[in-house]
Structure 1
Amino acid sequence: MQVKTIHGGAGMKKSAYIGWAIGSFTSAALVSAVGLLHLRFMTDSLGLAIALAGMLTVAAKIYDAMTDPLMGYIGDRTRTRFGQFRPYLLGGGLLAGLSMILLFNVPGGLQGDNMWLYVGFTLLLYSTAYTMFRIPYLAIGRAITDDFHARSRLMTFSVYGSSLGSFAATSAAPFLLARLGSDRAGHGHVALVLGIAIALGGIAAFLLLKERHPVEAEKKPTGSFAATWAALWSNKPFLCLMGFKLVLFSGLAVHITAIPYYTRHVLHVTDTALGTIFAVQTAMMVISQMLWVRMASRFGRRNALVSAGSLCAVAYTVWALIPAGSPFPLIYIACALSGTASGGVFLGLYTVLTDTMDYSRRIQGENRAGMLAGVFVMVEKGTSAFGIFLFSTIMSWTGFVSSTSAGAEEQPASVKTGIMVTVSLVPALAAVIASIIMLRYRLPETAEDAVEPPASTLQPVGVQSN
Structure 2
Amino acid sequence: MPTDVLSTRTRVGYGLGSVATGTFGTVPGLVLLPYLTDTLGIAAAVAGLIVFLPKAWDVVLNPVAGRVTDRTDDPRGPRRPWLLRAGLALAVTFALVFAGPDLGSRAFDAAWVLVTFVACATAYAFFQVPYVAMPAEMTSSYDERTRLMTWRVAILALAIMVSGASAPAVRDAFEGRTGYRVMGLVVAALLVLGVVGAYLGTRGAPVGTVAPGTGSLRDQLRVVAAARDFRLLLATFVVQALAVGAMLAGVAYVSRWVLVDRSAATLLFVCFVGPALLLTPVWSAVGRRVGKRRGYVAASLVLVVAALLLTTAGHVPVALVYAATALVGVGYAGIQVFPLAMLPDAVAVDAVRTGENRAGVYTGVWTAGETLGLALGPALYAALLALGGYVSTDQPADWMTQTQPGSAVLAITLGFSVVPAALVLLSLLPLRGYSLDATEVER
TM-score range, shorter chain: over 0.9
Structure 1 pair 442/35, CA: closer, same or farther in 2 (3 Å)?
A: same
| 1:362-389 deviation line (CA, Å, top 9, x unaligned) | 2232111111111111111112232222
The answer (yes or no) to whether the contact 2:98–2:184 under 8 Å persists in 1 is: yes
The superposition leaves residues 309-339 of structure 1 with CA deviations (integer Å, 9 ceiling, x where unpaired) of 11111111011123x1554211122122111
Give 2:103's aligned residue. 109
Structure 1 contact 401–411 (Cα < 8 Å) conserved: yes
Report the Cα distance in structure 1 between the residues aligned to 2:282 and 2:194, rounded to whole angstroms.
28
Q: For residue 330 of structure 2, what is the aligned residue in structure 1?
A: 340
Deviations 1:133-168 (A, max 9, x none): 111100012222222222111101111111122112
State the match for 2:228 in structure 1: 236
Residue 430 (structure 1) aligned to one of 423, 427, 431: 423
The structural deviation recorded for 1:413 is 0.5
CA contact (8 A) 2:41 2:106 kept: no
One of 130, 133, 142 as aligned partner of 1:139: 133
- Name which of 264, 276, 279 aligns with 1:285: 276
What is the Cα deviation at residue 212 of structure 1? 4.7
2:94 corresponds to: 100
- Per-residue deviation, residues 28-47 of structure 1 (Å, max 9, x unmatched): 11221111101101111111
Give the letter for the 1:353 counterpart. L
User: What is the 5 A alignment of 1:299-314?
Assistant: 299-314=290-305
The residue that corresponds to 1:270 in the other structure is 262
2 CA distance for matches of 1:395 and 1:414?
A: 9
Distance in 1, matches of 2:417 and 2:272, equals 16
> Is contact 2:252–2:265 with CA below 8 Å preserved after alignment?
yes
What's the secondary structure of 1:9's corresponding residue? coil
Asked whether the equivalents of residues 95 and 185 of structure 2 are also in contact (C-alpha less than 8 Å), the reply is yes
Q: Deviations over 1:409-436 (max 9, x none)?
A: 2111110111111111111111112223
- Give TM-score, length-normalised by structure 1: 0.90
Alignment partner of 1:8 out of 3, 6, 30: 3
Q: Distance in 2 between matches of 1:386 and 1:283?
A: 24
The 10-residue stretch of structure 1 (301-310 or 17-26) with the greater mean CA deviation from structure 2: 17-26
Q: Distance in 1 between matches of 2:307 and 2:81?
A: 40
**In the aligned structure 2, how far is the partner of 1:96 from the partner of 1:404?**
28
Contact 1:282 1:339 in 2 (8 A): yes
Q: For residues 136 and 182 of structure 1, do their structure 2 counterparts lie closer, same or farther at Cα, with a shift above 3 Å needed? A: farther
Show structure 2 runs of 5+ residues with no match.
none
Does the CA-based 8 Å contact 2:32-2:51 persist in structure 1?
Answer: no
Distance 2:175 2:32 in 1: 12
Judge which range, 63-72 or 277-286, deviates more. Answer: 277-286
Count matched residues.
440
Structure 2: distance between partners of 1:366 and 1:131: 23
* Equivalent position SS for 1:329: helix
Structure 1 unaligned spans of 5+: 1-5, 453-466
Runs (4+) of structure 1 moved beyond 4 Å? 211-215
Which residue number corresponds to residue 3 of structure 1?
A: none
Q: Secondary structure at the match of 1:288?
A: helix
Aligned to 1:410: 403
Is the Cα contact below 8 Å between 2:18 and 2:152 reproduced in 1? yes
SS in 1 for 2:213: coil
Cα RMSD (Å) of the superposition? 1.8
Aligned positions of 1:63-462 closer than 5 A: 63-109=57-103, 111-178=105-172, 180-181=173-174, 183-210=176-203, 212-213=205-206, 217-271=209-263, 273-322=264-313, 324=314, 326-406=316-396, 408=399, 409-446=402-439, 449-452=440-443
Counterpart of 1:32 (choices 26, 31, 36) is 26
C-alpha distance in 2, partners of 1:393/1:176?
28
Aligned equivalents of 2:175, 2:119: Cα separation in 1: 24
Aligned-partner residue type, residue 424 of structure 1:
S
State how far apart, in whole Å, the 1-side matches of 2:225 and 2:92 are: 36
Partner amino acid, structure 2, of 1:151: R
Q: How far has the Cα of 1:213 moved from its partner?
A: 4.5
Amino acid at match of 1:160: A
User: How far apart are the structure 1 equivalents of 2:421 and 2:19?
Assistant: 27
Between 364-373 and 83-92, the greater mean CA deviation after superposition: 364-373
CA 1:118–1:102 in structure 2 vs 1: closer, same or farther (change >3 Å)? same
CA–CA distance in 2 between the matches of 1:167 and 1:250? 19
Distance in 1 between the 2:166 and 2:317 partners?
Answer: 21
User: Over residues 221-273 of structure 1, what are the superposed CA-to-partner deviations in whole Å (9 max), with x where a residue is unaligned?
Assistant: 211011001001221110110121122222222222122111112211123x1
Q: Is the 8 A contact 2:87 2:192 kept in 1?
A: yes
- Which letter maps to 2:311? A
Q: CA deviation at 1:116?
A: 1.8
**TM-score, length-normalised on structure 2?**
0.95
**1:56-101, CA deviations, whole angstroms, 9 ceiling, x for partnerless residues?**
1211111111111111111111111121100110012101111221
The residue aligned with 2:54 is 60
